[in-house]
């Protein structure tokens, strides 16, 4: 398990260039059809950790509701709904910097989202976790660590939408919901644990993780050696068609 | 003596200036309502008539607990942010709300008959969102007033100042006859511009 807090930018720089505003982009990406790039894995666990780094971002149609984010999703076997946490750029805060958010869609179809006025730094890994380690009772905690880097976990939310004690599916990456191709690049480092949220104590990589991107819309690459190479760690962004 | 009086006057004026600055820094209920409507029309992707209920000023954490229900836990914005003065609204329209919000690939985006919005008074932005088949019980937060916003009135409010319209609509409900003159002035403006 290797997690670094500095990620040099070069791997996708040729594939992901800041775009100019277009009427449409990619293969049908829009506010109504979100596009994604992420690492995904199916591990039964009590806690997942996602470190999110937004390298640069401009959401051109922020004023009409567009956004892009770095985030981690967790869901549960046989149930609708999910819990997610991360950092979003765009509507309604059109300051072009990432804002903390967390959300839950319960298995009963009730959605609750908190998107903080507080911004987090770009070009810095911000630490998030979704965990039921403390009680193992199906009441899931969302944690973040006040940036920069790891400074201790803050219990940020408790979600208990009739969930089981362990999650079964994990994703970490980006979501794009814009009418205009954004200028966006980010990276994500991941782990899971059944022992402790203390950094690296009993943490494991997302072994067997698969990388997914929307052909012609989003790009994703594994983090290379020297930049945090490990299963589930990736670098992604909006790419040229 | 003269010095004392002058100093007092200056102090009073200074205090008034500070007070005025503070008042301008935080959004009013009507301004927050404008923000909620703007959110609904843009990120919320809803264009129909709205029925809007407001419970007035509260705190973020109290609103979050009402949105989630205590048995289900809640977001717990920590420290000062959790105590941030916030306005809470519940909206219902003639169609489901399906705002542009994050969701995992392969899952249908969230939607709901009722949409709850919390507007942070300090930054005048929506920071908390509820969607569901039943309305959260915002009566737990304060006295609820409800207004109906038709498309015609919303369009007309551009000419007659939306904040004036909404402030008056809220005042009409909350304060009754004390704002009767403002209500009449607004009604005249709407009639003059839009014959509604």
Tens of pLDDT, residues A53-70: 999 999 999 999 999 999
Window 113-152 of B: residues touching A by CB (8 A cutoff) are 120, 122-123, 125-133
Q: What is the pLDDT of residue A110?
A: 93
Chain A residues with CB-CB distance to B67 below 8 A: 112
Q: How far apart are CA B11 and CA A97, in angstroms?
A: 41
Taking residues B56-69, report their average pLDDT: 90
In B69-124, at which residue ranges do the beta strands (DSSP E only) sit?
Answer: 85-97, 112-120
Residue B196 makes CB contacts below 8 A (sequence gap 6+) with B152, B153, B156, B190
In this complex, how many residue pairs, one in chain A and one in chain B, have their CB atoms less than 8 Å apart? 133
Q: What is the pLDDT of residue A10?
A: 33
Q: Which of B42, B76, B127 sits opposite A64 (nearest CB)?
A: B42
Q: How far is A90 from chain B (nearest CA, A)?
A: 10
Q: Using an 8 Å Cβ cutoff, are A105 and A81 in contact?
A: yes
Q: How far is A70 from chain B (nearest CA, A)?
A: 10
* Angle at the Cα of B182 from the Cα atoms of B27 and B121, rounded to 5 degrees: 5
Residue among A155, A161, A127 nearest A142 (CA): A155
Tens-digit pLDDT profile for chain A (241 aa)?
444 433 333 334 333 433 444 457 999 999 999 999 999 999 999 999 999 999 999 999 999 999 999 999 999 999 999 999 999 999 999 999 999 999 999 998 999 999 999 899 999 999 999 999 988 888 899 999 988 899 999 988 888 867 999 999 999 999 999 999 999 999 999 999 999 999 999 999 999 999 999 999 999 999 999 999 999 999 999 986 4
Q: Is B26 on the interface with A (CB under 8 A)?
A: no
Mutate to test the interface with A, among B104, B109, B136 (most CBs of A within 10 A): B104
Q: Using an 8 Å Cβ cutoff, are B183 and B172 in contact?
A: yes
Q: Is A69 on the interface with B (CB under 8 A)?
A: yes
Quick one: DSSP state of residue A175? E
Q: Which of A93, A112, A161 sits opposite B75 (nearest CB)?
A: A112
* Angle at the Cα of A124 from the Cα atoms of A120 and A130, rounded to 5 degrees: 70
Q: Using an 8 Å Cβ cutoff, are B41 and B71 in contact?
A: no
Residues of chain B with pLDDT > 70: what percent? 58
C-alpha distances in angstroms, A42 versus A15, A168, A207, A217, A232?
29, 6, 9, 25, 11
Q: How far is B6 from chain A (nearest CA, A)?
A: 43
Q: Using an 8 Å Cβ cutoff, are A130 and A141 in contact?
A: yes
DSSP assignment of A159-172 equals E-SS--SSB-EEEE
Residue among B25, B26, B23, B4 nearest B15 (CA): B23
Structure tokens at B53: 């209920």
Q: Is B106 on the interface with A (CB under 8 A)?
A: no
What is the 3-state secondary structure of B167-194? HHHHHHHHHHHHHHHHHHHHHHHHHHHH
Choose the weakest-confidence range: A125-129, B1-5, B40-44.
B1-5
Mutate to test the interface with B, among A76, A84, A92 (most CBs of B within 10 A): A92
Give just the sign of the alpha carbon dihedral A115, B117, A36, A178. negative
Q: What number is the ipTM of this complex?
A: 0.89
Structure tokens at A63: 């004023």
Number of helices (H), then strands (E), belonging to chain A: the values are: 0, 15
Structure tokens at A204: 């494991």
Q: How far apart are CA A6 and CA A55, in angstroms?
A: 11
Q: What is the pLDDT of residue B152?
A: 62
Token look-up 């997914």 returns: A212
Query: Has residue B17 got a pLDDT over 50?
Result: no
């Amino acid at each position: 398990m290797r997690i670094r807090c500095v990620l040099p930018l070069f791997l996708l720089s040729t594939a992901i260039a800041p775009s100019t505003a277009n009427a449409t982009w990619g293969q049908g990406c829009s506010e109504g059809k979100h596009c994604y790039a992420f690492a995904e894995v199916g591990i039964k666990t009590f806690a997942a950790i996602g470190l999110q780094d937004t390298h640069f971002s401009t959401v051109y149609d922020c004023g009409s509701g567009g956004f892009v984010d770095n985030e981690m999703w967790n869901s549960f076997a046989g149930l609708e709904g999910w819990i997610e946490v991360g950092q979003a750029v765009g509507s309604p805060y059109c300051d072009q910097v990432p804002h903390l958010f967390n959300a839950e869609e319960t298995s009963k179809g009730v959605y609750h989202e908190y998107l903080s006025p507080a911004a987090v730094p770009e070009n810095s890994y911000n630490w998030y976790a979704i965990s039921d380690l403390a009680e193992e009772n199906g009441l899931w905690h969302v944690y973040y660590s006040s940036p920069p880097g790891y400074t201790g976990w803050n219990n940020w939310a408790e979600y208990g939408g009739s969930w089981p004690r362990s999650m079964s599916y994990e994703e970490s990456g980006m979501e794009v919901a814009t009418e205009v191709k954004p200028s966006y690049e980010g990276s994500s480092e991941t782990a899971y644990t059944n022992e402790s949220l203390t950094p690296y104590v009993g943490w494991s990589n997302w072994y067997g993780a698969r990388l997914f991107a929307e052909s012609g819309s989003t790009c994703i690459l594994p983090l290379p050696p020297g930049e945090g190479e490990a299963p589930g760690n990736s670098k992604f962004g909006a790419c040229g068609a | 003596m003269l010095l004392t009086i002058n100093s007092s006057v200056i102090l009073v004026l200074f205090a008034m200036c500070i007070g005025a600055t503070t008042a301008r820094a935080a959004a009013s209920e009507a301004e927050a309502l404008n923000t909620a409507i703007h959110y609904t029309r843009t990120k919320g992707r809803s264009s129909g008539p709205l029925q809007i209920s407001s419970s007035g000023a509260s705190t973020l954490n109290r609103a979050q607990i009402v949105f989630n229900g205590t048995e289900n836990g809640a977001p717990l914005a920590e420290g000062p942010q959790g105590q941030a003065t916030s306005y809470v609204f519940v909206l219902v329209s003639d169609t489901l709300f399906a705002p542009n919000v994050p969701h995992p690939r392969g899952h249908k985006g969230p939607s709901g008959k009722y949409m709850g919005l919390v507007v942070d008074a300090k930054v005048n932005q929506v920071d908390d969102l509820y969607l569901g088949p039943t309305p959260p019980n915002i009566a737990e937060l304060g006295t609820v007033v409800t207004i109906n916003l038709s498309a015609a009135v919303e369009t007309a409010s551009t000419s007659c100042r939306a904040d004036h319209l909404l402030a008056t609509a809220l005042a009409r409900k909350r304060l009754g006859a004390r704002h009767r003159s403002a209500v009449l002035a607004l009604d005249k403006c709407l009639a003059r511009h839009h014959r509604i």
